[in-house]
Amino acid sequence: MPEQSKFENVDLFASLEAIMKQNTGFYQSDLDIDKEIIAKAAASPHREDKTLLWFCRPSGTHCFRERDVFLKDTAPHNTWRFYMEQTSDRVLAYAIELTGKERGKIKGNLYELDYAKHYERVKEKELPADTVKLIYEHGERVQEAGRYFDGTPDPQLGKFERFEAVPNDPDALQSLLQEERRSREQLPPGDFKAHIAALRDGLIETEARRIVREMKRHDTPNSPNKTHFM
């Protein structure tokens, strides 16, 4: 398998769309949700919102904050693991570092991930997060991770905005994220157009393998008049 590459200072929306088109046939509109997540993260003052993990598969895409993917039992963590454990989908995965805006376009660095290897790291290095922070307009509350909450306004704190998992050991999470960043930065710079061409070739090969696999399942011709394979 060729070595992964990094693509620096790219137009993120255009780049993700180009990648998605090489792998995702259904639910391409998932990318609109991802774009909202990315735009919100780009506007956020918090550093940990600036690194995201994104992947696309034949039926859709997902985008999460990197810190959430490494926190055990969160929805991002479980989703990131699910497609390796429960499917044989071709998954193209990337880390996104948001760097700013240029002429109205959200720019950033895109790092190619080997999804199978990254999955192993997430599984091996997952960190417990036994509490959840509920963030309101005028403050926040902390409660146990498994406890129900419904996002209704709080009499003292106002409108509910969002929630996030809180790691039991915040320092361990910071060390892990720094380690991930250092390992990504070692990747060689790539040519994005060549990368897209290679993905297109990979898609053709994947589809050819799938057709051969399907054919092998039939030991007799499967056309209506049983004269040939379809």
Paired tokens of 170: 């915040």
Paired tokens of 122: 């997430």
Q: Domain limits of the chain? A: 6-128+168-216, 130-166
Amino acid 1: pLDDT: 46
Contact 192, 186 (CB under 8 A): no
Contact 38, 98 (CB under 8 A): yes
- Whether 161 shows a pLDDT value over 50: the answer reads yes
How large is the average pLDDT for residues 6-10? 98
pLDDT per residue as tens digits for the range 48-91: 999 999 999 999 999 999 999 999 999 999 999 999 999 999 99
State the Cα–Cα distance between residues 26 and 17, nearest whole angstrom. 13
pLDDT per residue as tens digits for the range 187-203: 999 999 999 999 998 87
Contacts of 152 (CB under 8 A, 6+ apart): 160
- Whether 37 shows a pLDDT value over 80: the answer reads yes
Reported pTM:
0.89
Beta strands in 66-104 (DSSP E): 92-102
| Exposed / middle / buried, residue 184 (Cβ in 10 Å: 0-12, 13-18, 19+) | middle
Amino acid 222: pLDDT: 67
Backbone Cα Rg of the chain:
21
Amino acid 228: pLDDT: 66
- Whether 101 shows a pLDDT value over 90: the answer reads yes
Q: What is the mean pLDDT of the chain?
A: 93
Tokens 């994947």, residue located: 206
pLDDT per residue as tens digits for the range 105-122: 999 999 999 999 999 999
State the Cα–Cα distance between residues 75 and 22, nearest whole angstrom. 26
Q: DSSP letter at 189?
A: B
Paired tokens of 60: 């859709």
Least confident interval from 2-6, 16-20, 135-139, 142-146: 2-6
Amino acid 208: pLDDT: 63
State the Cα–Cα distance between residues 145 and 103, nearest whole angstrom. 41
- Whether 181 shows a pLDDT value over 80: the answer reads yes
How large is the average pLDDT for residues 159-180? 97
Tokens 């909202």, residue located: 36
Task: Count CB neighbours of 113 within 10 A.
Answer: 21
